[in-house]
Amino acid sequence: MPLKEKSPEIKKILLFLDEIGLQTIEKKLENTFLPGLSLGPDCLYIDFEKLLYPGDILHEAGHLAVATSEERKLAGTPEMSTEWPPQSEEIGAILWSFAAANHLELPLEFVFHPNGYKNASDWFISNFSSKNYIGLPFLQWIGLTLGEEKALEEKKESFPIMQRWLRD
């Protein structure tokens, strides 16, 4: 489907991902973990005909964003470790997608829809809305954002504002 026919939310997400350096490629996909989405080497494949939850684009992009540049190059290939992503990166990708939704001014339910996150969507929304940012130490450790204390020290804005969007 041509970009002009996509929803305003999808257009906003695709433009954002392009701006931060994450490539999206429209492609027919079969048997994917998330309907209509798959990670590829340094890119995210999207099958718009099969995509059920456009907010999932941000979660999958989050996996690429919190991965090292070497891991991003291996995403979706046989060379990628079967242990990827580690739990720290999974949690980081979830929090990254929250920051992206916040940045794009999308409702949290758009990303954390009821049919995702192993029925924990409401739990994530509740925690993140209460500024209980599970995964924040990881995102700070990889240099993407700052917790309140560090932000005050450096005179910068704290999470959910991101200092940068890609790990390296």
Q: CA torsion angle for 117, 118, 122, 123 (degrees, to 10)?
A: -90
Residue owning tokens 């906003």: 12
For residues 44 and 22, the answer to whether their CB atoms sit within 8 Å is yes
Q: pTM (2 decimals)?
A: 0.94
Look at residue 5 and tell me whether its pLDDT is greater than 90.
no
From CA 16, how far away is CA 62, in angstroms rounded? 12
Mean pLDDT over residues 2-19, rounded? 85
Q: Give residue-wise pLDDT tens across range 14-24.
A: 999 999 999 99
Percent of the chain with pLDDT over 90: 88
